[in-house]
Amino acid sequence: MAKKILLLDGNSLAYRAFFALPLLTNEQGIHTNAVYGFTMMLQKILEEEQPTHMIVAFDAGKTTFRNEMFGEYKGGRQKTPPELSEQFPYLRKLIDAYRIKTYELPNYEADDIIGTLSLEAEKEGDEVIVISGDKDLTQLASASTTVYITRKGMTDIEKYTVDHIREKYNLAPLQIIDMKGLMGDASDNIPGVPGVGEKTALKLLAAHGSVEGVYEAIDQQKGKMKEKLVANEDLAYISKKLATIERSAPVEVSIEELSYPGPDHDELVKVWNELAFKSLLEKLDYTAEETTKKELEFEVLTELDASILEDEMAIHLEMYDEQYHTCDLLGVSLATADKTYVVPMETITQSQAFKEWFADDSKKKYMSDSKAATAAFYRYGLGVDGVDFDLMLGAYIVNPSLTYTDLANIVQEYGYTDVAQNEQIYGKGAKKAVPEAAILNEHMARKARTIWEVRPMVLKKLQENEQFDLYNKLELPLATILGEMESFGVKVDKEQLVEMGKDLSHKLEKIEFDIYGLAGERFNINSPKQLGVILFEKLGLPVQKKTKTGYSTAADVLEKLEGKHEVISYILMYRQLGKIRSTYIEGLLKEIHEDGKVHTRFQQALTTTGRLSSINPNLQNIPVRLEEGRKIRKAFVPSQPGWVMVAADYSQIELRVLADMSKDESLIEAFQNDMDIHTKTAMDVYGVGAEDVTPNMRRAAKAVNFGIVYGISDYGLSQNLNITRKEAAEFIDTYLKSFPGVKRYMDESIQMAKKNGFVTTIMNRRRYLPDINSSNFNLRSFAERTAMNTPIQGSAADIIKKAMIDMADALKRENMQTRMLLQVHDELIFEAPPNELEKLKTLVPQAMESAVTLNVPLKVDFAFGDTWYDTK
């Protein structure tokens, strides 16, 4: 049978992948990008080529026979970055799991092993594919051998056949060696003829065929070129020799031994888990089927009485998708130390015993994403109390940088693999469906079991990290509160939105017409690509900034062009109004439920800083800055006639947190005296009195304050203020001299991250920053800014979460009808009956301001009105 042999250049591919991909890490902070790139490439090749035989060749050591020929060979090379060296053991493990042979030979490079084996295979008449990141290997191309060279991604591959090399360089494969002989190779420190590059080398070879040919006809050269060639004849020959792959190296494996049996799936899954290759694990269907799960016995109950329901139980509600406010509920599973049950939905809803148990505070429920379950049960009139454990929230507190979408993925972090991913049970896309009862029941049973089994591991981790209180006193009670807020929803005035939509459509139509007139043609204004062509090619406006796919047409770019062509301001207006119509009119209308309300979902285990996020719809980014957009807020109204909307927001909470954490005297003083912080900053930075701060000075100071919170960089500030980087750098310098405590805080945050690998908030929320010691400037800088920003943003998130719990308690304690509706990072939105308004005016600010005690006061602004728009 004809063989198909794959010969891989291990070192070269690892290097390529390392530099092509961003520095990923697994949870232990081990870098994985080279192994990942290699894996992606391998997966693709295996699928496309279906090889019968494979080998990965590695370089054996530092020196080879080439160094004896030319001492400086590969000299001047930077030593392998530690981030890459640490990956080689994992790469070996991975290749072993694929059951691919590896080979290395002292004194020889991987190239020579591949060259030797490919020659052997050619003699046998076998098909060969050589894979490398190094174009030197293309000299091996022949009628039966193709050389694949990876391009910038890892899965993007250029295939060098004899014909392709002819087309590309007008050379035969062996002439690649002559090309290197003439032009050299900087990366291998092959000298070549100084002054001869690719263009010249190709010209010479087109005329004379080889290095030898060039020198035989040396008299045809003249001037400088001749001088260079004559003076460096020796270098040319030695370079050619260095570039020649040895094809009769003493390789002691035979092609027969390279036969490829396919991967060891269990091993592969193990290695991928260790490397945290989530997307790969998810992609492969066989992860579920082929990893053997422990047997699980469970009982399906068609009747549910109190005898089953114990004092402590894991309970899981199975739902058809993430939209728990509307989706089908498929059943409930329960687990104790030694029993597992599955209960159909009808049985649950008909069981009085369950209803009582579920609402009983003394019966401990262990759940995962308890908010989803409680919000869904709420639709059936089932109220919950006694949620004692939430696996998803616990795991999120342990490490907020991971993704918490599927229970299977969460528990995988704790080495637990006995539960399938939802996608494997239901399928995805158009194929998604509820499977037969046996499969569904087992899936549900396994989830309850999982929660029970993994709970102690999560609790242990929380204790070790001293994060139990954060989890138990903050996130867990908050989940219930958020669930109630979501379930209650926010009333939206549909007619109001529809009217605004009509008005906008008229305006947009006019602007669209004007734009076509000014541009001289019709085009899709929403397409950055088409717009770019009109502005920068047809109208010849100066290009300010490019994106990787073309011209940037972002608002800041267009604003710089505003004086240059009349069409620009129309485009900006079109964008502004178009956004309002598509996202906030049409988008929002689609999200209104039958009760006339929107029911957002607050994602509580998503952000890396501890903030919430809001989806379907996102109610945390409703327009406010510009009046046209702000009008959208008129459609957010109380759910009962005569009631009012109430908004209470923290004033400068992040800078107050910074004052507290940095202990900066000037900052503390400013807040203790309730000064305008941006004016105060301007006073200190410019060294002037309050009366002498101009609006421009205040604006600049405000930008710096933002920058400080974000983890300042001169470039970022320069962009924001439209000044040069140098000016920005000086500005920052002056700021940090005026606020030495802030400077100290910045430095200490980075030191903390370098030393411990993570930073923390005031309530001991953690964020790991594995890139903080990276040799890659970008990654390291990003980690440093994150080290400065996360404690600030995260502590502010901690504080408002605490305020929400206190606020919910207060409303209950005071027996009030006022409902908390939304949280928008530093503000809380309520609806209230008018008779409770007076009380709220003191209650809300009081609760929010006393959520924590800092060394500066917290300040809350309170407002109310008939709609959200009017709370100003």
Q: Residue 529 has which token pair?
A: 């690509």
Minimum CB separation of residue 728 from DNA in Å reads 8
Are the C-beta atoms of residues 159 and 148 closer than 8 Å to each other? yes
Inter-CA distances, 728 with 368, 693, 700, Å: 47, 19, 10
Peptide bond preceding 82: is omega within 30 degrees of 0, i.e. cis?
A: no
343 or 567: CB nearest DNA: 567
The dihedral sign for the CA sequence 306, 311, 312, 317: positive
Q: Which residues between 440 and 499 bind DNA (CB under 7 A)?
A: none
Window contacting DNA (CB under 7 A); options: 193-201, 251-259, 789-797, 851-859: 789-797
Q: Are 370 and 480 in contact (CB under 8 A)?
A: yes
Residue number with CB closer to DNA (336 or 421):
421
* Smallest distance from DNA to CB 60, Å: 32
| 292 near DNA (CB under 7 A) | no
CB of 21 to DNA, least distance (A): 12
Residue 382 sits in the site that holds DNA (CB under 7 A): no
Question: Going by C-beta distance under 8 Å and a sequence separation of 6 or more, which residues neighbour residue 587?
Answer: 617
625 near DNA, judged by CB under 7 A = yes
In the region spanning residues 694 to 753, those forming contacts with DNA, defined by CB under 7 A, are 703-704, 706-707, 710-717, 719-720
Q: Residue 534 corresponds to which tokens in the numbers above?
A: 């009109």
Nearer to DNA, 57 or 534 (CB): 534
Residue 615 binds DNA, judged by CB under 7 A: yes
Q: Are 663 and 856 in contact, with CB atoms under 8 Å apart?
A: no
Within 630-669, the residues that bind DNA by CB under 7 A are 630
* Shortest Å, Cβ 72 to DNA: 25
Inter-residue contact 546 to 484 (CB < 8 Å):
no
Pick 790 or 818: Cβ nearer DNA: 790
Sites for DNA among residues 521-540 (CB under 7 A): 524, 526-530
Q: Which is nearer to DNA, 128 or 588 (CB)?
A: 588
Cβ distance 41 to 13 under 8 Å? yes
User: Hey, which residues between 583 and 612 contact DNA (CB under 7 A)?
Assistant: 583, 586-587, 590, 603, 606-609, 611
CA 502 to chain centre: 38
Among 350, 352, 547, 855, binds DNA (CB under 7 A): 547
Nearest distance from residue 127's CB to DNA, in Å? 30
Token pair listed for 241: 């020799």
Point out which residues pair with 498 in neighbouring strands.
none
The reply to whether 349 sits near DNA by the rule CB under 7 A is: no
Residue 185 Cβ, how far from DNA at the closest point, in Å? 23
What is the SS3 assignment for 492-503?
A: ECHHHHHHHHHH
Minimum distance of DNA from residue 69's CB (angstroms): 33
Residue 650, strand partner residues: 860
Site string for DNA, 7-46 (x = CB under 7 A): ----------------------------------------
The CA distance from 103 to 717, in Å, is: 52
Q: Which helix (H) or strand (E) holds 706?
A: helix 695-710
Among 221, 368, 421, 793, interactor with DNA by CB under 7 A: 793
Interaction with DNA in 564-583: which residues (CB under 7 A)? 572, 575-576, 579, 582-583
Do the Cβ atoms of 489 and 598 come closer than 8 Å?
yes
* C-beta of 55 vs 393, nearer to DNA: 393
Q: Report the site for DNA in 754-783 (rule: CB under 7 A).
A: 777-778, 781-782
State the pairing for strand pair 490-492/636-637. Answer: antiparallel
Q: Which amino acid belongs to residue 424?
A: Q
Span of 138-146, 158-166, 173-181, 618-626 interacting with DNA by CB under 7 A: 618-626
Residues 798-857 that bind DNA (CB under 7 A): 824-827
Task: Report the nearest approach of DNA to the CB of residue 832 (Å).
Answer: 21
Q: Give Cα separations from 333 to 383, 447, 496, 601 (angstroms).
A: 17, 8, 44, 24
Residue 803 has φ and ψ, to the nearest 5°, of -60, -35
